[in-house]
Structures are given as structure tokens and as C-alpha cells.
Structure 1
Amino acid sequence: MKTVIQKKFPLKMKLQYFGKKSRLQEIIDRKAEIRSLLEGDQEVDLGELETELRELADEQEKIEKRNRLLEEARSINEGNETETRTVETFNSEPEVRESNELVESEKRGQELKENRAVTVGSGDVLLPNHQASDIRPNFNEVSSLLDRVSHKTLKGGESYSQPYVKGYGEGDYTEEGGNYAEAETQFGYADITKAKITSYAEDTEELQKLPAADYDGEVMKGITIASRKKMTREILIGNGSTNRLTGIFSSAATAIDSETDLEISSINEGTLDDIIYSFGGDEDVEDTAVLILNKKDLKTFAKLRSADGKRIYNVKSNGNTGTIDGVPFIINSACKAVSDSKTVGGDYSMAYGPLSNYQLTIFSDMEVKRSTDFKFRQGMIAHKGVVFAGGNVISKNGFLRVKKAEEV
């Protein structure tokens, strides 16, 4: 597109106008050179370039002002000859863009002199990194056995002794004037001593203050879970020594007669019946008992099929618990699976009995504390938890223990 402008001015004035226009182009060209110097890697005198840019800008402003006044004077000069001049408007757009670039160059030069960081380009080369505001949980690591056994609270205590009946005597015939038959009730005692269970973790102050997700809250929660995880395993495998719980599988659980232990070499269609009818006294078949086993053995129960392909056991599970043919079970990884090739003869694999026959005694509440003093200089935050507890089997042969049979 072209715009035709009617102008009238003397020939002498035309020469002056185009002379000044040529100088204006020189200024623009020089500014472009200075911009190239600033964008390049070579060393330059920033002070000298700044002074020159300022002088060029002042001169350019004077020339442009002079040209504007010249055009105004030309428009009111009615007695001079008329000249038609064509201005190509599309040439003005590069000049505007050039002018903007020069302004940015001047600004960049000033910032370089003041040792500022200069942005020479931008774009989505590095994508933004966003973090979620929540933390996804892990699989359950604490067997519900801990919450299902019997609990007793003795805050401030050191030890506890729970009596239990070992057996009753039996009456007998007696001759006239003879002594009565001995029928003493036999008692036993399950000793429960205090054990200290602790957990400790550290995290940085950045994890507490900066992330969107609550990492510090998960660390605090983890302290409690760690203690519970240890205790629920010790209910089965605690060796009963000093500062230890006494587990169901331990020889220190004196309430259980080791001669009642059941040995099996594999899980088959008769395994559950063998366990149920082997537990308890000679006069009753006990009910409301719970089978404690490894998840691998539960899988073996579920996979057993009869000759016609039907399930032998009806297994229903709900997380950590469920039933096998209506018999309640609890999964606990401290049991060594019979179906695991790594389990050797004599290893305990299952326990069967009422969970109230095991007593967990709490000598102090679970206490979790946070401290910034220990590693104050490093900005580390320490978390610790402690609970004093004890446990033991408190009923005569309260559980039937199942172990893997020795290979013949």
C-alpha cells in the first residue's frame, strides 16, 4: 500500500531534508553495530558505548524534531512549487521494530554495566516441575494381630505376672476312714517384663517448610508405625530374653507345652481339619479361634483343587484378615510359610487359638517427640518414639503351634 502526500517546499529545503535523513540512517546503522557488540562475546568498553548511545539518541531526537518542524513549515508555505512525494508505508514498520530493538539494546548495555543478570532469550526449553500436594501410601506393613490380642495397661510398672490354671485334679474312690483323694488345682504364672521399643528418624527443615506435600507429617506417622510393626512381629517370634517380648513361637512361652505342637510337611485338603481338632482339651472342640499364617500359605489354601477342579477351601479375604471355610485368619509375615522352599524342618509356620490367650501389657503410652536441637547447625529435625511394653501367652496351651516337619 502506498500513500501519496502533497508537499510544497523550495529545492534548497529539499536538499537539507534529505541530507538530514541520511545522517539519521547513519545513526540507526551505528546503533545496530553497538547492539551487535553488546550481544557478542568480545570485550567492550561499556562506559564508552553507553556515552556514545546517549549522544546518538540525543542527536537522533534533534534530527527527528527538526524534520517535523520542517514539514510543518513546508505545509504552510503556499507560494512554493508543488511536489508530489510517495511514502511507502511498509518501510516504516521495520524502522519501528528497529527502534524498539535499539531501546532494548540500550537497556541491556546499562544492565551489563551494573552487573545485572540479562535475559538474552526465553522459551520452554526447561519444562516446569510441579509437585503433588499429597503422598501416596504404601501397602499395609502392620499385622492387625497387634490390635486383636488382649491388652492390659500398667503405667509405670516394671513387670507383671499373670496366673493361669494348668489343670484340675480328679476325684477317686476312698475307703471308709481313708484319706480323701488328692485333687489339687494346678496353677502356672506367665511373667511379663518391660521391654523398651524405640524408633528414630531425621529429616531436613526444607522437608518441613518447603514442599507442598506433608513429608514431615509422614515421618512422624512412620515413627509410630515402626514401633507397631516391631511389636506385632514380636508377638510371634519374641525370644523372651531380657528387654524382649515373649512370642507364641518362643520356648520361653512356658504356658505352651511343646509336645502339643503339630508338624506338617505340606498343605493339603486335610490340613485345616488337623489344625482345628488338634487344638484344645480332650473334652471339647474349641471355637472362636483364629489361624495366624503367612500370606504364601493362604495362597496355597486358596489354590487347592479337587480331582474335578473344584475349590477345596473357600477363602474370603479382606485386607489383613478373612476366613478359610469360616475359620478366621490373620496374616503375619513373621510366620515362615510351609509352602516356601526356604522354610526348613522345625520352623514355626502357623498358630491357632483365641487371641485373648496372648496378653500385651503396656507399661507406658507411645510417646513421639520432635527436636531441632540435636543437629541445629545442620538444620536437621530429629523424631523419636518410645513405648515400654511386654507380652506373653497367658493361658495353658493357649495356642496350637504348627511347624514344618523334618524331612525324612
Structure 2
Amino acid sequence: MNREQLMKMSKKELKARLVTVGKEAQDKSGEELTALMDEAKTIGEILDEIKAREELARAAAAAATEGEEPEDDTKGGEGAETKDKARAESGKALKNGKAVKFKAKAIAKPLNTITTTTGVVMPHHTSPDISPTFNNVSSLIDRVKTVPLVGGESYQRPYVKSYGDGAGSTAEGADYNTSEPEFGYADIVREKITAYAEEPEEMQKLPDADYDGVVEDSVTRAIKRYASRQILVGKGGTGKFRGIFYNPDSASDDIIDRTTDIATITAIADDTLDEIIYSFGGDEEVEDVAVLILNKKDLKKFAKLRDKQGRKVYTIVNHGNTGTIDEVPYIINSACAEIGGTKDAYCMAYGPLSNYEVAVFSDIDAQKSTEYKFKQGQIAYKASVFMGGNVVARNGFIRVKNPSA
């Protein structure tokens, strides 16, 4: 079945068709097997699109609900009351020096495969006399695929390395050409991420629920910033994130083939975006629904570029940490180096964010101490969480790095 026919099917029918394709593929080979594998891939893409639309609808509904006036007791509101009561109990426990746990979803919101330019708005929990500063957390952590595995130790994700290209002409009576798909496995191991924060003792005077919110925001913001950077620059190894810019010791272990890196861009020019977009993906198509990850300094260079008539070369729409360059979605992340800067440094990555997975192996464990800076009247908090991440698709991103010389 072609894509047009599949698009007319319901979610249930698509899943049933995927099962049928799997059964039919058992005794097929050559072009027939390739066709079935292509159809299975198309079904997977359509199901991902359906999931993205459903998640976007839920996110929109949740945003609309948050903007509504609180309901009175006669109209329900039990859920809100239960949540406030839980936060109050958590805040009271913190004040009494007991350890509490915050849900891991506070780190990575479940907007897994959505790649729109709306971004994610992070809440600010502050007391009336404390003003927040600029956001220092990239929304990248909220946009990659998140897998909750509380209590787990590691996670292995299979991916297709190639579909095989051995089909060809065969003489009568000779053996069939071998054309088998090749698979690989992306290992995601847990890394212990910790954060430490201090608050003035006056914070104790906040209502219990507000107190809980202040502490949660203090520690989760630091953890999110670290994890968001590690998605790009995680150095791999035992108990470490494996970032998009990570290269294993052996090239044979590459998930992103390092020979595909673009190392010819020395400055932002009028053809830079085209060079990146058309260098990504397979030989038979131009990939869509991809996002460009870059440094704010390079975004500024895109914005300042002018043609000979003084007109802007690129049309840029900004939405805080995200936006579009000529309708291509982007995300700012300071872990990216600057084009034209340090040699061999990675500057940009382009690809679907669903090609990177973050596994969350635990909730956030937070504890309080009033002893360390007792004289200054400061209350100390420490928090930890176990997470890991890795690229989970063969050549799931194209990377841009500065040339060696």
C-alpha cells in the first residue's frame, strides 16, 4: 500500500496493517521484502505524526485549562485541591528536614516528537521580592524523546543501520543475491546528576506549597541545564550521556558516521542553510520535520547577513529559545561552539529530535540542611537524579564542525 492509501486509515487499522506486513515479510526477499519494509517505515512515520498531533492537542488543552479561572468547590476542583495538598505536605516535609522526591517529568516534559516552533515555557516559582534573570536552560531537553524507566540501570535501543542493497540480476539456477537489513544497538546508561542550592531562611515563611515550588524549581533548573547540554556534548563512557557530538573510540561503533560531518563552513553565508539541509538524509529524498541546533552567536550571524542591496538574506522568527530560519525550526543551545571559532569544534546539528532519546531512571531526590551555613542564615539543598541519553537512529543528525585548519 502506498502512503496516500495508508493516510486514509485509522490508527487501529494502521497498527493492524503493520502486524500483517510483519507476517508477510517472513517469507519474502529481494524487492518484495524491500517494499514491505518501506511500507512498515511509512506506517511508523504516520503513527508518529498521529502521536505528535495528539500530544499537541493535549498540550493545547492543558494550556487552555491553565488559563481558566479556578473553579469553586461547588463545581468540583478536587484534582487541584489534591495537588495543592500534596505540594503543601511536600513543603512541610522539606521544612522539617525530611527528604522528598519530585517527579522526574519536571526535568523532561513529555512533548517527545513535537517539532513545532512554539517551544516550551518553563514556569518561574519566585517569591514576590526576588526577580528572575534570563532563562539559562535550552528547551532541547523538552523536545527530544523521553523514556521513563524509573528503577532501571540501562537501556538498549535497536536501530536499522542499513536496509541492504544486494538485490540484482541472477543467472538461472544460481544463488539468490543476499540483501539483508543490518541492525545496531544504542546503549543508554544511567548517569548520576546532582545539584546544590541555597536559599535565605526567610523562605521558611512562605506557605508550604510555595516553599516546595521554590525548592523544586531551584534544583530542577540546574539539572535541566546540565542534561540539555549533555544531549549535545555528553562524552560517553561508563555512566555518562552520549551526546550528538560524541564520537566513540572506534569509528566502527559510530551511530553518526563521523565522515558525514560538514567541515567546509568557515562563516555564515547565503548558502549555509541549504548546505546543511541537503547534506542530511539518504540519497533518495530530502528529510523533513528536522530541527537546527545552534549557538545564539551564529543565529545572530544569520540575522545580520545582507545581500548586495542591503536586504536580509534569511527570514528569522524568534520565540525565545526557539524559532525559525526561513521556516526551518531552530533551538538555541550554548553547548554548540561558534562557526569560525575553535578548530574541530562542533557548532551545529540538524535532524529530527526524536532521533535522540533520554531515559529517566529515577525521580529527583531532594534533601535539606540548616547546618552548613547556620551563621549566615542560609538553608542548603541537594538533589540528585539518574538519567542517560544517546542517539538512537543511524546518522540521525548531520553535524557541522569547524575545519582543522
TM-score bracket relative to the smaller structure: 0.5 to 0.7
CA–CA distance in structure 1, aligned partners of residues 233 and 389 of structure 2: 11
CA–CA distance in structure 2, aligned partners of residues 294 and 165 of structure 1: 31
**TM-score normalised by length of structure 1:** 0.63
Deviations 1:283-305 (A, max 9, x none): 01001100000000000001111
CA apart distance, 1:337: 1.1
CA apart distance, 1:267: 0.8
CA–CA distance in structure 1, aligned partners of residues 389 and 368 of structure 2: 28
SS at match of 1:229: helix
- Could you say what the CA RMSD is over the residues aligned between the two structures, in angstroms? 2.4
Q: How does 1:178-193 map to 2 (within 5 A)?
A: 178-193=174-189
Q: How does 1:2-401 map to 2 (within 5 A)?
A: 133-170=128-165, 171-209=167-205, 218-252=214-248, 254-263=254-263, 264-339=265-340, 343-372=341-370, 381-401=379-399
| Counterpart AA for 2:226 | K
| Counterpart AA for 1:165 | V
Q: Pick the structure with greater CA Rg.
A: 1
| Counterpart AA for 2:256 | I
SS at match of 1:234: helix
CA apart distance, 1:325: 0.4
Deviations 1:314-338 (A, max 9, x none): 0111100000000000000000111
Identity over aligned pairs, percent: 56
After TM superposition, what 4+ stretches of structure 1 lie above 6 angstroms from structure 2? 373-379
CA–CA distance in structure 1, aligned partners of residues 317 and 374 of structure 2: 52
SS at match of 2:298: helix
CA–CA distance in structure 2, aligned partners of residues 302 and 201 of structure 1: 37
CA–CA distance in structure 2, aligned partners of residues 145 and 203 of structure 1: 28
- Are the structure 2 counterparts of residues 173 and 197 from structure 1 closer, same or farther at C-alpha, using a change threshold of 3 Å? same
CA–CA distance in structure 2, aligned partners of residues 216 and 203 of structure 1: 12
CA apart distance, 1:222: 1.5
CA–CA distance in structure 2, aligned partners of residues 315 and 377 of structure 1: 51
CA apart distance, 1:216: 8.7
CA apart distance, 1:378: 8.2
SS at match of 1:278: coil
CA apart distance, 1:204: 4.7
Q: Is the CA contact 1:370–1:383 (under 8 Å) kept in the aligned structure 2?
A: yes
CA–CA distance in structure 2, aligned partners of residues 309 and 217 of structure 1: 49
**TM-score normalised by length of structure 2:** 0.63
- Are the structure 2 counterparts of residues 276 and 368 from structure 1 closer, same or farther at C-alpha, using a change threshold of 3 Å? same
Deviations 1:155-212 (A, max 9, x none): 11111110000001121211222111111110011000011101122345345349xx
CA–CA distance in structure 1, aligned partners of residues 373 and 278 of structure 2: 59
Give the count of matched residue pairs.
271
Q: Is the CA contact 1:224–1:368 (under 8 Å) kept in the aligned structure 2?
A: no
CA apart distance, 1:149: 0.3
Q: Is the CA contact 1:166–1:187 (under 8 Å) kept in the aligned structure 2?
A: yes
CA–CA distance in structure 1, aligned partners of residues 276 and 232 of structure 2: 18
Deviations 1:105-127 (A, max 9, x none): xxxxxxxxxxxxxxxxxxxxxxx
CA–CA distance in structure 2, aligned partners of residues 295 and 378 of structure 1: 38
Q: Is the CA contact 1:207–1:216 (under 8 Å) kept in the aligned structure 2?
A: no
SS at match of 1:162: strand
CA apart distance, 1:281: 0.5
CA apart distance, 1:142: 0.5
Deviations 1:354-373 (A, max 9, x none): 00000001111223333447
SS at match of 1:262: coil
